Amino acid sequence: MSPSRLLSFFAWPVMIGLVAALILLLTVPELRPQSWQLPARAAPQSDNAFANLSYAHAVDQAASSVVNIYSRKVIETRRHPLADHPLYEKLFRNSGQQERVKSALGSGVIVSPEGYLLTNNHVIEGADEILVLLHDGRRAGATFIGNDPGSDLAVLKIELDNLTPINIGNPNQARVGDVVLAIGNPFGVGQTVTQGIISALSRYGLGISSYENYIQTDAAINPGNSGGALIDTHGNLLGINAAIIFDTVGIGFAVPADDAMKSLKDIIKYGRVVRGWLGLDAERLTPAAITALGLKNVSGLRVTNVFLNNPAHIAGIRPNDVITHINNQPIGNERQGLKEVADLAPGTVVSVRVLRPHTNGSLPEELEIDVTVGERPDNLEVNRT
């Protein structure tokens, strides 16, 4: 038999055997070599990818610490001056001293197992009665402990057992673009969660309060959310939701959690918030300002205003001085620099390194100036240089 006929003779049985073997391998996984096995949990990995898009765990961590707050204020209306006149007695017969009840609603955050709550001052300001509704359905009357009008914060206390304080996060590690969740009681509909990102950090100069250092977010914040929690994707508190810009969408502001906790501790200890203060206004040094001041490769804060007869003015700091270091620590932004001073006790002496530009084109002068920290006043309507 020729080789070609021999090859043709064996070709069909071989092909039939290969097809049969392939069918067996596909239908009986146990016969496959180990290297042919599909990766275990291939399908569940796809499910996990979708699970990672959920923030349910973060909400579970924080929701029981966020409360609804209802406040009532009794307002007495004035008696009409003609109510006792004989000609108008019948007309004003029912116009005696009357009471009108003004109600407000908002949110709050439990921050200690002892029952201390943080909320916004405008939620409970002047209230005669404050009621707190917990996530688990319990109710309690709240005691007003104190407030900080400068940052629109207030501290309340409730007397209940088995409270769940929220985990406090670190706003200093937050970045623009981080996902955040807002939890509160918008329009009184009940606890609601909205999602967004951090839009900006260290917002100030908005005219909302006298001490501004806000986290800006596009998470939906509505009336009733005030005093609620802004949390990260792990359920940690980043801020206390405080304000929105009306007639806009996606512009809300929260007081950073570390600022809020300092206010709470000061209010409990001193009855007020004590903030260190240099007595100046400053802004981040922009590239345009660097060029205008004749500087090169400098980062820091440009002093825009100095308050007369206050620490910076007494020490000799001037407008347009550039603060580069405080206590030998480089200063890169307003939050980092002036917040460090705010955390210092009044009377503390700090070393402030400044660059003083010269208008004649010569190199800026570097100075080390010791400044005795003062206490930031609640009202900043004082003279500037």
Residues 208-236: tens digit of each pLDDT? 777 778 899 999 888 888 899 999 999 99
Q: Is 349's pLDDT higher than 90? A: yes
206 and 124 inside one domain: no
Per-residue model confidence (pLDDT) at position 38: 47
Residue 46 included in any domain: no
Q: Which of 39-48, 110-119, 300-309 has the highest mean pLDDT?
A: 110-119
Higher per-residue pLDDT: 156 or 357:
156
Report d(CA 168, CA 264) in Å as an integer.
Answer: 13
pLDDT bin (cut points 50, 70, 90) of residue 353 is: very high
* 171-207 pLDDT tens trace: 989 999 999 999 998 888 888 999 999 999 888 777 7
Q: Which helix (H) or strand (E) holds 320?
A: none
**85 in catalytic set:** no
pLDDT cut 90: percent of the chain above it: 37
Are residues 264 and 282 both part of a single domain?
no
| Mean pLDDT (whole number) for 38-60 | 63
Same domain, 137 and 107: yes
Mean per-residue pLDDT, 53-73: 89
Look at 103 and 236; give whichever has higher pLDDT.
236
Q: Is residue 245 part of a domain?
A: yes
Q: Which of 51-65, 167-181, 297-311, 355-369 has the highest mean pLDDT?
A: 167-181
pLDDT of the residue at 76: 59
Residue 29 is predicted with a pLDDT of 60
- Report the pLDDT value the prediction gives residue 79, as an integer from 0 to 100: 59
* pLDDT above 60 for 100: no
79 and 122 housed in the same domain:
yes
**Residue 52 within any structural domain of the chain:** no
Residue 83 lies in a domain: yes
Positive or negative: CA dihedral 270, 67, 236, 330 = negative
Residue 155's contacts (CB-CB under 8 Å, 6 or more residues apart) are: 116, 117, 118, 144, 145, 146, 147, 263, 264, 267, 268
Whether the per-residue pLDDT at 355 is higher than 60: the answer is: yes
- Answer yes or no: do 280 and 369 share one domain: yes
Tell me phi and psi for residue 202, to 5 degrees: 60, 40
Catalytic residue among 107, 151, 226, 263: 226
In a domain, 246, yes or no: yes
Q: CATH no. for residue 73?
A: 2.40.10.10
232-253 confidence digits (pLDDT tens): 999 999 999 998 887 677 889 9
Q: Where are the alpha helices (DSSP H) in the chain?
A: 3-27, 42-51, 56-62, 121-124, 257-270, 287-292, 311-315, 334-342
Residues 323 and 370 in one domain: yes
Q: How many domains does the chain have?
A: 4
Q: Which domain holds residue 1?
A: 1-33
76 with 144, same domain: the answer is yes
45, pLDDT greater than 60: no
Contact between residue 198 and residue 216 where contact means Cβ atoms under 8 Å apart: yes
Residue 257 and residue 284 in one domain: no
Q: Is residue 309 in a domain?
A: yes
- Tokens representing 102 are 């003004």
Residues 262, 290 within the same domain: no
Residue at a domain's end among 133, 157, 181: 157
- Give the DSSP letter of residue 60: H
Give 118's pLDDT tier (boundaries 50, 70, 90): very high
Check which CATH number belongs to the domain holding 292 and give it.
2.30.42.10
Is residue 385 a part of any domain in this protein? no
Mean pLDDT across 131-137: 91
In the predicted structure, residue 273 carries a pLDDT above the cut 80: yes
Q: Which of 269, 285, 316 is the last residue of a domain?
A: 269
Least confident residue range of 10-19, 44-53, 154-163, 329-338: 44-53
Residue 264 has pLDDT above 90, yes or no: yes
Bridge partners (DSSP) of residue 213 are: none
Active-site hit among 65, 71, 107, 122: 122
152 part of the active site: yes
| Confidence category of residue 83, pLDDT binned at 50, 70, 90 | low
Question: CA-to-CA distance for 30 and 25, rounded, in angstroms?
Answer: 8
Identify the active-site residue in 65, 71, 152, 313. Answer: 152
pLDDT greater than 50 at residue 103? yes
Pair (148, 92) in one structural domain: yes
Q: What is the pLDDT of residue 365?
A: 86
At 46, the pLDDT band (50, 70, 90 cuts) reads very low
Same domain? 287 vs 355: yes
Of the listed ranges 3-7, 148-152, 196-200, the one predicted with least confidence: 3-7
Average pLDDT, the chain: 80
- The reply to whether 41 falls in a domain is no
- Domain boundary (90, 125, 157) is at 157
226 as an active site residue: the answer is: yes
Averaged pLDDT for residues 248-268:
90
Instruction: Taking residues 286-312, report their average pLDDT.
Output: 84
